[in-house]
Amino acid sequence: GQNIDQPTEMTATEGAIVQINCTYQTSGFNGLFWYQQHAGEAPTFLSYNVLDGLEEKGRFSSFLSRSKGYSYLLLKELQMKDSASYLCAVRSPQQNFVFGPGTRLSVLP
Amino acid sequence: EAGVAQSPRYKIIEKRQSVAFWCNPISGHATLYWYQQILGQGPKLLIQFQNNGVVDDSQLPKDRFSAERLKGVDSTLKIQPAKLEDSAVYLCASSLAPGGRGNTIYFGEGSWLTVV
């Protein structure tokens, strides 16, 4: 079966750092993806991990531990525009993307 | 580069009526997906095509939902008859064929369905 878990909501302050966790149990693994989704809009790609370790991309970093079935997305120097839902997704070897429930992040001034 | 195109953007229908959504993927993308996203939840895969063949439709409610991609390019998702619980955003996405690093999927803006 497929199970992906994320916290439902998080709140942080402008300029701060926030870490959004994702745990997964899936049959088959070919990469973990993070997407950002603003209210009323389609998800947009943020980052991708297929090997263990940290991938850094500007203010956003993503970490993966395949043995623990665990990933996190780290957002630094938070801005108001970062208020959005963050979706964790696991890709299967058949290119099937399974999404988690999403974490709604609110950035406060 | 043009993105994934979807239409209509918004649709309101009464229960038991039918509706159809259209999607045109990014040029050259062999894999096409239809996802259903209910408000406050993550997207749920309905069907995945590789060219014009179905790879996965295990979560498609086949008694009322159907989808086709006859020429391996654009696709249509149909719901007949619609139920109240079908109210959701229907997201079409596409990706390159398997292989290579990354190969993320790219989403269209979605078709918002309200069933009353």
Q: Would the CB atoms of B105 and A97 count as touching at under 8 Å?
A: yes
Mean pLDDT, rounded, for B47-74: 93
Q: In A, what residues contact B, Cβ < 8 A?
A: 4, 33, 41-45, 48, 50, 87, 89, 93-102
Mean pLDDT of chain B: 92
C-alpha span between A58 and A51 (Å, rounded): 19
Query: What integer pLDDT is reported at residue A27 of this predicted model?
Result: 83
Distance CA A91, CA A86 (A): 16
Q: Are A88 and A99 in contact (CB under 8 A)?
A: yes
Write down the pLDDT at residue A52.
Answer: 96
Beta strand ranges found along A3-83 (DSSP E): 3-5, 9-13, 18-25, 32-37, 44-49, 53-57, 60-65, 70-75
A66-80 core/surface letters (b: 16 or more CB in 10 A; e: else): eeebebbbbbeebee
Return the pLDDT at B101. Answer: 56
Do A96 and B45 make contact, defined as CB atoms within 8 angstroms?
Answer: yes
Say if residue B103's pLDDT is above 90: no
Task: Please state, in angstroms and rounded to a whole number, the distance separating the CA atoms of residues A61 and A74.
Answer: 5
Q: How far apart are CA B13 and CA B41, in angstroms?
A: 22
Confidence of residue B52 (pLDDT cuts 50, 70, 90): confident
Which is nearest to A28 in space by CA: A103, A92, A81? A92
Residue B99 has pLDDT above 90, yes or no: no
* pLDDT band, residue A40 (cuts 50/70/90): confident
Q: Which residues of A touch B48 (CB under 8 A)?
A: 94-96
Summarize pLDDT for A6-25 with one digit per residue, the tens: 999 999 999 999 999 999 99
Residue B9, number of CB atoms within 10 A of its CB: 10
- The answer to whether the CB of B65 falls within 8 A of the CB of B77 is yes
- State residue B85's pLDDT score: 96
Q: Which residues of A touch B109 (CB under 8 A)?
A: 41-42
